[in-house]
Amino acid sequence: MPIISYREALNAALREEMQRDETVFLMGEEVGHYQGAYKVSQGLLEEFSERRVVDTPIAELGFSGVGVGAAMVGLRPVIEFMSFNFSLVAIDQIINHAAKMYQMSAGQFHIPMVFRGPSGPAVQVGAQHSQSFESYYCYVPGLKVVCPSTPADAKGLLKTAIRDDNPVVFMESELLYNSTGEVPEGEHLVPFGKAEIKRAGKEVTLIAWSKMVEVVLEAATELEALGIDAEVLDPRSLRPLDIDSMVESVKKTGRCVIVEVGWSMCGLGAEIAFQLQRECLDYLDAPVERVTSDDVPMPYAKNLEQEVMPQVKDIVAAVKHVLYLD
């Protein structure tokens, strides 16, 4: 299999789906002539024309609403946000229209659309551009939420999202766009609601998604040097959530640490921890531990930014805690 970058994998998914289905189109700020703020849409305007690669004004609420209307009449829009921080401007369209239209129309209107773009911290982009909103969108019935951590998952999950008849919030990590990995050519679909074990282990389950999978895998390598065998599980889609695979892993290891770059209060890790303790109480040898970003707006200074986000040392410390080694 070819080794390509995360952004190239997303580009391949968009190109293949636009070639396969003429109802698929891309719309957002700078997706066309500039070829995407992060070059995910590179080459698509030349191949598909302005009819299907649509540059928009800086008006997220407006072009998200155009996307909802297009989905209602049979098209499959992919709406790109330059940053998911800007999706807050369009949140009325996402939550009050895209998520609810199928039920409120008594099934007359499917909304087959994807809201995609970078989410979470980057490098020194400040408090207003460093936020992770997956727990916001996971809260809403009618939406599906996806956070790929590898190039192969990015391609396979985006193709699945574009083909889904429901609105999908597809959250990429800006910190992963340059990461590389093996990606199958041609038809490659990754199903929603199916977690993947990124590293097998026996002593503790580490659950993470998006950029945090890389950090957790690095921590698992460090733990291995300490004689601790950690299993790393990536849910890939957060709604639907493959709790069964998590339960199976935690029943095997008896311990669990959940790592997310979002904040602690009302974070997705809290929901996962609740479901795990409900299903695995008799198997747990320690309470489920969580590692999150600090409960502050993100500082701009690089050293403080690193201090706020989960680091390898934080994960190692949490694992030692659940193993009663601290």
Task: List the catalytic residues.
Answer: 60, 129
Q: How many C-beta atoms surround the C-beta of residue 285 within 10 A?
A: 12
Element (H, E) at 79: strand 76-80
Rg (CA), the chain: 20
CB 112 within 8 A of CB 161: no
The strand pairing partners of 5, in sequence order, are 180
- Please list, in sequence order, all residues whose beta carbon lies within 8 angstroms of the beta carbon of residue 321, skipping any fewer than 6 positions away: 286, 289
* Cα–Cα dist 56/40, whole Å: 16
| Residue 216 Ramachandran class (φ > 0 left, ψ -120 to 50 alpha, else beta) | alpha
Hey, what amino acid is at 229?
D
Q: Which long-range contacts (CB under 8 A, 24 or more apart) does 263-269 make?
A: 263/132, 263/292, 263/293, 263/295, 264/290, 264/292, 264/293, 264/295, 265/295, 266/135, 267/135, 267/292, 268/134, 268/135, 268/138, 268/238, 269/207
Closest to 59 measured CA to CA, from 30, 100, 95: 30
Provide the greatest CA pair distance for the chain: 60
Please report, for residues 141, 229, 279, 326, the alpha-carbon distance to residue 98 in angstroms, rounded to integers and kept in the order given.
11, 43, 33, 48
Instruction: Give the CB-side neighbour count of residue 153, counting CA atoms within 13 A.
Output: 27
